[in-house]
């Protein structure tokens, strides 16, 4: 009986030694064992892993792109809303300033005598090589040669050149070679605008004169109107002048109605 | 009515429509095609004269001239007839 018990204890001890050695070996060679197992497993697992990765990336990218597209749209929408609010505020301020300006001029004895006449555009400038627009009002509405043609009551686009009984012809100020005087708004720099066609003017100023893109060019006089916006400035090292390309803010090809200053 | 007269009248109507509706360069192309296609297409001259009457004003672009379309049509017809004679009936 004692013999049997001692055998059992010995076996248990040997078992413990083997377990301890196994744990020690496991601890000592864990990296190699893991790598060994991994090396065996990868052969079968790699395609699955790659597939999984592709699916994950595909779904992730798709999901991300959808989310980011939506996010960008939301951001754009938000930005545009903010801009709109800004513009509405500016428009209100603009209306107020225009009224205030007219009132101040009236107080100082300058009453606006402009009488505007609405006219329908019957022929657009691309219909002839002359860059003319035909309007449906003539002598019947007291239109005269030299009357200015406006858009939205603020931008001058042309001048009446011929008047018929019930129609009149106006030449665009941006028509090639047409000359008109203007002033840089806020700086009071006078310049001569020469039409270049396609809704563009060109002007020249000495290189030392500071002018920036986006500045407004207005007509001369106490009740000025917009002629164009400075689109680009270019200069040549050999020339003492800088060229200024001024763009009319109005697309004449899409016009249906204009106003004539009588 | 002969087929030639019908096609001439049709081309005339198309060019009138083009003068009223289309950009001027389309009218120019149609006019050149008609001048080349039809023999002695002199009727284009008064047609483009009407175009000048409708649209033209003295501008710097054309040095104050107002019969540009008329003049162009006149010269084109003359050149075409001259060329036709020289090509088809060489002396």
Residue of chain A whose alpha carbon sits nearest to that of B60: A177
Tell me the residues of A at the B interface, defined by beta carbons under 8 Å apart.
Answer: 123, 126-132, 134, 161-162, 169, 171, 175-179, 197
ipTM for this model: 0.80
Q: Report d(CA A89, CA A252) in Å as an integer.
A: 28
| Distant-in-sequence, close-in-space partners of A211: CB < 8 Å, separation ≥ 6 | A184, A187, A189, A205, A230, A233, A242, A244
What's the pLDDT at B54? 86
Q: With an 8 Å Cβ cutoff, are B56 and A177 in contact?
A: no
pLDDT given at position B91: 42
> In the prediction, which pLDDT does B82 show?
87
Nearest to B81 by CA among B49, B44, B47: B44
Q: Note whether A130 contacts B21, CB cutoff 8 Å.
A: no
Strand pairing category for A168-172 and A155-163: antiparallel
Check the CA dihedral B28-B30-B36-B39 and report its sign: negative
pLDDT higher for A46 or B84? B84
Rg (CA), chain B: 14
For residue A260, the model assigns a pLDDT of: 92
Give this prediction's pTM: 0.67
pLDDT tens for each residue of B11-64: 999 998 888 888 889 999 999 999 999 888 888 999 888 888 888 888 888 888
A157 neighbors A150 (Cβ within 8 angstroms): yes
Point out the residue among B22, B61, B69 whose CB comes nearest to the CB of A176.
Answer: B61
Residue among A127, A161, A177 minimizing CB distance to B23:
A127
Minimum-distance CB partner of A128 among B21, B55, B60 = B55
Chain A interface includes B50 (CB < 8 A) = no
pLDDT tens for chain A, 262 residues: list them. 555 677 888 888 888 888 888 777 766 666 565 555 555 544 554 565 566 566 666 666 666 676 777 888 888 998 999 889 888 888 888 888 888 888 888 888 777 667 889 998 888 888 888 888 889 888 889 899 999 999 888 889 999 998 888 889 999 999 988 899 999 988 888 899 999 988 899 999 998 888 888 888 998 888 888 899 999 998 888 888 999 999 988 888 888 889 998 8
**B54 and A128 in contact by Cβ < 8 A?**
yes
Q: Which helix (H) or strand (E) holds A105?
A: helix A30-107
Report how far residue A117's alpha carbon sits from residue A162's, in angstroms, rounded to the nearest whole number.
Answer: 16
Interchain proximity A131–B24, CB inside 8 Å: no
Q: Find how far residue B9's CA is from the centre of its chain.
A: 14
- Find the farthest-apart pair of alpha carbons in chain A and give their distance in angstroms, rounded: 141
Q: Which chain B residues have a beta carbon less than 8 Å from that of A169? A: 55, 57
Q: Using a CB-CB distance cutoff of 8 angstroms, which residues of chain B are in contact with residue A175?
A: 59-61
Within 10 angstroms of residue B32's Cβ, the number of other Cβ atoms is 15
């Amino acid at each position: 009986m004692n013999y049997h018990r001692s055998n059992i204890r010995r076996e248990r001890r040997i078992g413990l030694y083997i377990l301890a050695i196994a744990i020690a070996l496991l601890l000592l060679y864990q990296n190699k064992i893991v790598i060994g197992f991994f090396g065996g497993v990868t052969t079968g697992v790699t395609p699955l892993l790659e597939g999984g990765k592709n699916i994950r990336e595909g779904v992730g990218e798709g999901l991300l792109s959808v989310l980011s597209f939506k996010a960008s749209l939301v951001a754009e929408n938000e930005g545009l809303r903010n801009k709109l609010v800004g513009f509405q505020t500016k428009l209100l301020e603009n209306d107020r300033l225009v009224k205030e300006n007219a009132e101040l001029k009236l107080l100082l004895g300058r009453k606006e005598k402009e009488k505007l006449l609405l006219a329908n555009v019957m022929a657009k400038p691309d219909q002839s090589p002359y860059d003319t627009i035909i309007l449906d009002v003539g002598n019947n509405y007291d239109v005269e040669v030299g009357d200015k043609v406006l858009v939205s009551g603020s931008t001058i686009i042309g001048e009446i050149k011929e008047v018929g009984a019930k129609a009149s012809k106006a030449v665009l100020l941006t028509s090639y070679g047409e000359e008109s005087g203007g002033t840089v708004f806020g700086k009071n720099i006078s310049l001569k605008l020469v039409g270049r066609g396609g809704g563009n003017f060109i002007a020249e100023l000495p290189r030392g004169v500071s002018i920036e893109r986006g500045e407004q060019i207005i007509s001369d006089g106490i009740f000025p109107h917009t002629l164009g916006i400075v689109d680009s400035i270019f200069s040549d090292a050999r020339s003492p002048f800088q060229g200024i390309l001024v763009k009319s803010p109005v697309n004449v090809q899409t016009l249906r109605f204009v106003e004539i200053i009588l | 009515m002969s087929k030639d007269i019908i096609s001439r009248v049709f081309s005339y109507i198309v060019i009138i429509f083009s003068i009223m509706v289309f950009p001027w360069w389309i009218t120019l192309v149609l006019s050149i095609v008609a001048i080349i296609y039809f023999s002695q297409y002199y009727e284009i001259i008064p047609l483009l004269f009407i175009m000048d009457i409708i649209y033209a004003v003295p501008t710097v672009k054309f040095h104050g001239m107002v019969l540009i379309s008329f003049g162009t049509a006149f010269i084109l017809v003359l050149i075409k007839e001259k060329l036709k004679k020289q090509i088809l009936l060489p002396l």
